[in-house]
Amino acid sequence: MLRRQLGRKLEALRKAAGLTMEQAAEQLDRARATLYRIENGAENVRFRAADVKEMLSLYDAGDEDSELVLAMAAATRENKNWWHDYIGSGLPRWFQLYIGLEAAASNIRKYQPELVPGLLQTRAYAEQVFQMPGGSIDAKDRDEQQRAIQLRVERQGLLTRFAAPELSVIMNEAVLRRPVGNASIMVEQLRQILKAMKLPNVTVRVLEFSAGLHAGAMTGAFSIMNFPLDGAGKEVEPPVTYLEAATGAIYLDKPHEISAYNSIWADMTDRALNEAQSRSLIQQIAEEYTHA
């Protein structure tokens, strides 16, 4: 997965530089077949730092892209799940990879115990979230906050684009009842969720308090992403489970890891309200905020 993501990133940088594969191969003094294997993340390719830096220089890559690509290349050489804490300035590099995966996914499943998922947040709700300390964006840096909020809003276009992914969300009842900001912010936010639920590719279900102990209680928030099938009926990428913390994230793609999170998701699915019941509860809580 990581090799293919890295290959696609290098391909995008090459194309942004206005170079064909033949032109880039000639200037890098490599065979076209070699560059093809690099951009396809072939298993036998070693992403040596010197080679990657040469490509980044040819493609005139910016500092942020270079930092991300070099970190990914280093991780392929370590041959392990990679843990990103390359915060630097602006948005963290590990989250940039997530955005790429999210955009490529055909199916996204999200569990949220505390907050409305970013793909469903209103701007006002997101502003409240990014004012809190302990996240990857400095709560005192107003410019960075606004960049992050704008990115969150723009990401939501994913749900209405051509060939949009299927989004399935399970959220705890606490997400709906815990005020974020004032009552008007919550009313707007809950109505935004109801609006999103009208999309044919979006499903939102609620885990009531009365559901009791469930498998998600042991995990915290996570996302499971599945990817489109190729002409042979195989996924272009293996499924990925994404877990995020305050200063980094982990990407799980081993079969036993995906199986474990699929089992957790199945347990919560069995316990959650169905769509109609969830919609009714969200409407009820929105009314409660309206009269608060």
Q: What is the pLDDT of residue 85?
A: 33
End-to-end CA distance of the chain: 48
> Any idea what DSSP says for residue 291?
T
pLDDT the model gives residue 81: 37
pLDDT for the residue numbered 138:
52
Give the domain ranges of the chain. 2-80, 93-290
pLDDT on residue 229: 80
What CA–CA distances, in Å, run from 192 to 139, 153, 167, 182, 281? 25, 12, 15, 16, 14
Predicted pLDDT of residue 272: 98
For position 40, what pLDDT does the model report?
Answer: 81
pLDDT value, residue 186: 97
The pLDDT score that the predictor gives to residue 89 is 37
Beta strands in the chain (DSSP E): 83-84, 107-112, 166-172, 202-207, 222-226, 240-244, 249-252
Q: Do domains 2-80 and 93-290 have the same CATH topology?
A: no
Identify the pLDDT of residue 82. Answer: 32
Checking DSSP bridges between strand 222-226 and strand 240-244, what pairing results, if any? antiparallel
What fold characterizes domain 2-80?
A: 434 Repressor (Amino-terminal Domain) (1.10.260)
Low-confidence ranges of the chain (pLDDT < 70): 1, 43, 78-94, 96, 134-141, 230-231
Domain 93-290 classified CATH 2.60.40?
no
- pLDDT score, position 208: 97
